[in-house]
Structure 1
Amino acid sequence: MIQENAKKRLKDIRYSVLDLSPIIEGGAPTDSLRNTLDLARHVEKWGYNRYWLAEHHNMPGIASSATSVVIGHVAAGTTSIRVGSGGIMLPNHAPLVIAEQFGTLESLFPGRIDLGLGRAPGTDQLTAHALRRDRRSDGQDFPEQLGELRDYFNSSRKNYVRAIPGEGLNIPIWLLGSSGFSAQLAGQLGLPFSFASHFSPEYTNPALALYRSNFRPSAALEKPYAMVGVNVIAADTDEEAKWLSTSMQQQFLALIRNNPGKLQPPVENIDDLCSDYEKSLLAGRLSTTIIGSPETVKDKLQAFLDETQADEMIVNAQIFDHHARLRSYEILAEIVK
């Protein structure tokens, strides 16, 4: 349940970036990864707190499938911003491998690495099988995998198999979710929690309530810390922002049709591309998405903060033109200051 406390203002919380490293129509992964580093350098300068990349597979429009590699690329090209995963899909991997990868990253970039973990495959079932994920698993063994991973970082445990690098390192672990499972688990373990409101908005408040009501203080956290993902498309005018947002809408429409592809250029009228039923699905998926001019974004962002009482927001902006994408994050930085 949302705590009864003083109203939070936009400047009272932190803001971070979720980068799906979009591959645009006519572009290539090389361009996407170059743009990822350029965006990271800009948002570091603008005061964002962390920069997260997400693990997706068999997605023609996302270049961050080798998430740990891209995290190293971004961390090496920046100086102070935290860099991490939003998230690593743990059931796709042996916990020892993730402990070694993130132990290596933390050894290379001390004090700057976050390990956000999810339990979904991050892809379709056929690709999950290609990743050697057990097709019978529905993520119910995630708590055991998480416990194994945390043991590898704990130097006080007697592990006959050790993660080197990794053992003894203090790497913040976050649980990520789009429903209640990880929210409840994060609360019970006293870990920070990040909810994917940017694609699962209808479960945002129930999941946050579940996290907060189940929270138990731990060595990691004394009180709940909730970060919420949100799509923000900002431009100098409402009209431009609405036009830019049609690329993201087309991306969601492709997912609804089970036909993911590259990020498409904006269109004048998204309604021309979809049926009434698809419009209703889009409206549901994007109900917490914030689109508009600085004034519009400020008002909607404050309303979203009032509703969620988030401690931090992590912002996704699927915008076709890289310079417009930079401008969107710049506008947000100006608003919250």
Structure 2
Amino acid sequence: MPVPLSILDLAPVPSGGTVGDALRNTIDLARHAEEAGYHRYWLAEHHLAPGVASSAPAVLIGLVTAATSRIRVGSGAVQLGHQTPLAVVEQFGTIDALHPGRIDLGLGRSGQRRAEFARLGSAPPPPPREAEVVDGLLIPPPFSFASLAGSPTVALQGALLQQPGARSPDFADQVDDIIALLAGTYRSAEGHEAHVVPGESADVQLWILGSSGGQSAQVAGERGLPFAANYHVSPATVLEAVTAYREAFKPSDVLSEPYVLVSADVVVAADDEAARRLASPYGLWVRSIRKELRAIPFPTPEEADAHEWSAEDRALVADRIDTQFVGSPATVAERLRVLQRVTGADELLVTTITHDHADRLRSFQLLAEVWNS
């Protein structure tokens, strides 16, 4: 039997479209995903991006859950660097109170990484690493954001996402606080209890998301939580991430053994050529993220054709282009099987962006049909 297949959605805004279009498309896609048999439907968290409407995942999760009836819905992931554990537990506890047993709370440390990111400009560059193919899976050289470390966008995000003078606590401490608040066992350093309503005893499934073998993988493993590893954004470090998680894993009340979900960026169409055409704007979209940290509205293939690519720009997005799974249902399913085999994933999380909503719906439908056949 194939491993379960789930969806990650960024609520992409198409070129020429509106945020309302993007959000209505997300709800429509979630309904179709449920009918097609997808296991989960996760919403990402991105800020200050004209081309991404998923800036408030808890709000969007509530809307998607209300519009569906069976599929699990969750965050991929809440950025803990600019939210308190109490706020997160209250948000997800509220949703769970109306839709018990269907909510996933995925946690990420992207917010905490802003301080690390700001230091990249003065840090020595990592030693170069060549691309390699591991049992059929491409592992490209790692990408560095060092060139953007001192950019105004980074400073602006920090200023707008946190209160003046605020400091992000350690990620592990925040995860522990969330676990305690959900369980009703929270005690402050002074011994005071806190009981969250709504939130305490909420039937949410806690996840940790990570892109490397660093703290996120360690926290997930040591606390016996399921772990989502990021091949679609950081393909160079996915094997390090899953290995670190498994090595750190300790059985818990949640899991007796490690559980790994791995993400992939896919575009599926009737044949390889049609899929490549639908995916052709992807590089231009990734370029906007890596040059300015702001995703542009997703272009049309014609807009992508008009862009004049420099060698520098092509190198900027090469790892993402080369690891996007594009093609017919059979082509993409085979590449996903390779990803699952090499990483040992217990579940796969796929994300797809095309300019036209109908093409995105069809991509997920075609993939589900071949995957479950």
Confirm or deny a common fold (TM above 0.5). yes
How big is each residue's C-alpha offset from its partner over 1:43-75, in whole Å with a ceiling of 9 and x where there is no partner? 100000000001111111111111111000000
Alpha-carbon spacing, 1:270–1:144, altered in 2? closer, same or farther (3 Å): farther
Gaps of 5+ in 1: 1-10
1:49 to 8, 23, 39: 39
How big is the alpha-carbon RMSD for the aligned residues of Structure 1 and Structure 2?
Answer: 2.0
Q: Could you say which residue in structure 1 is the equivalent of 2:89? A: 99
For residue 134 of structure 1, report the CA deviation from its aligned partner: 7.1
From 300, 304, 311, the counterpart of 2:346: 311
Secondary structure at the counterpart of residue 110 of structure 2 = coil
* 1:38 alignment partner, one of 1, 8, 28: 28
Give the drift of 1:160: 2.7
Shift of 1:124: 3.3
Q: Deviations over 1:278-310 (max 9, x none)?
A: 222322123331000122112212222221111
C-alpha separation between the residues in 2 aligned to 1:183 and 1:118?
A: 10
- 2:173 is aligned with what amino acid? E
Q: Deviations over 1:12-49 (max 9, x none)?
A: 20010000000111111111110001000001000000
| Number of equivalences | 326
Q: Decide whether the 8 Å contact of 1:319 with 1:325 is kept in 2.
A: yes
Partner of 1:58: 48
Q: In the alignment, does 2:179 pair up with 1:150?
A: yes
Q: How does 1:68-217 map to 2 (within 5 A)?
A: 68-121=58-111, 124-132=154-162, 141-157=170-186, 160-180=193-213, 181-217=215-251
> Which amino acid counterpart does residue 241 of structure 1 have in structure 2?
A
CA shift in 2, pair 1:248/1:153, >3 Å: same
Pairing 1:228-239 to 2, within 5 Å after superposition:
228-239=262-273
Give the 3-state SS of the residue equivalent to 1:286 in structure 2.
Answer: helix
Q: In the aligned structure 2, how far is the partner of 1:83 from the partner of 1:260?
A: 24
Q: Is the 8 A contact 2:186 2:195 kept in 1?
A: no
Partner of 1:14: 4
Instruction: Name the CA distance, whole Å, in 2 between partners of 1:28 and 1:111.
Output: 33
Give the aligned partner of residue 5 of structure 1.
Answer: none
**What is the identity, as a one-letter code, of the residue corresponding to 1:176?**
L
CA contact (8 A) 1:128 1:135 kept: no
1:278 and 2:308 aligned: no
Q: Are residues 198 and 287 of structure 1, via their aligned partners in 2, closer, same or farther at CA, if it must alter by over 3 Å? A: same
Q: Which runs of 4+ in 1 moved over 4 A?
A: 133-137, 156-159, 268-272
- Which of 15, 26, 39 matches 2:16? 26
Report whether the alignment pairs 1:256 with 2:286: no
Are 1:241 and 2:275 an aligned pair?
A: yes
Task: Using the TM superposition, give the Cα deviation of residue 235 of structure 1 relative to its aligned residue in structure 2, in angstroms.
Answer: 0.3
SS at match of 2:101: coil
- 8 Å CA contact retained: 1:37, 1:73: yes
- Are the counterparts in 1 of residues 269 and 327 from structure 2 also a CA contact under 8 Å? yes
Report the alpha carbon displacement of residue 76 of structure 1 after superposing the two structures with TM: 0.3
Q: Are 2:280 and 1:222 equivalent residues in the alignment?
A: no
- Contact 2:281 2:303 survives alignment (8 Å): no
* Residue identity (%): 41
- Aligned residue type for 1:131: L
Equivalent positions of 1:262-301 (< 5 A) are 262-267=297-302, 273-301=308-336
- State the SS of the aligned residue for 1:52: strand
Which structure 2 residue ranges, 5 or more long, are not aligned? 115-152
Pairing partner for 1:326 from 361, 366, 370: 361
**What is the aligned partner in structure 2 of residue 6 from structure 1?**
none
Instruction: Report the AA paired with residue 162 of structure 2.
Output: R
Q: After the TM superposition, which of the residue ranges 119-128 and 33-42 deviates more from structure 2?
A: 119-128
After the TM superposition, which of the residue ranges 119-128 and 208-217 deviates more from structure 2? 119-128
- Separation in structure 2 between the aligned mates of residue 272 and residue 128 of structure 1, nearest angstrom: 31
Per-residue CA deviations over 1:130-173 (Å, capped at 9, x if unaligned) read 12167785x67111111112111112455633210111223111
Would you say the 8 A contact 1:43–1:329 is kept in 2? yes
CA distance in 1, matches of 2:260, 2:321: 20
Distance, in Å, in 2 between the alignment partners of 1:30 and 1:179 is 34
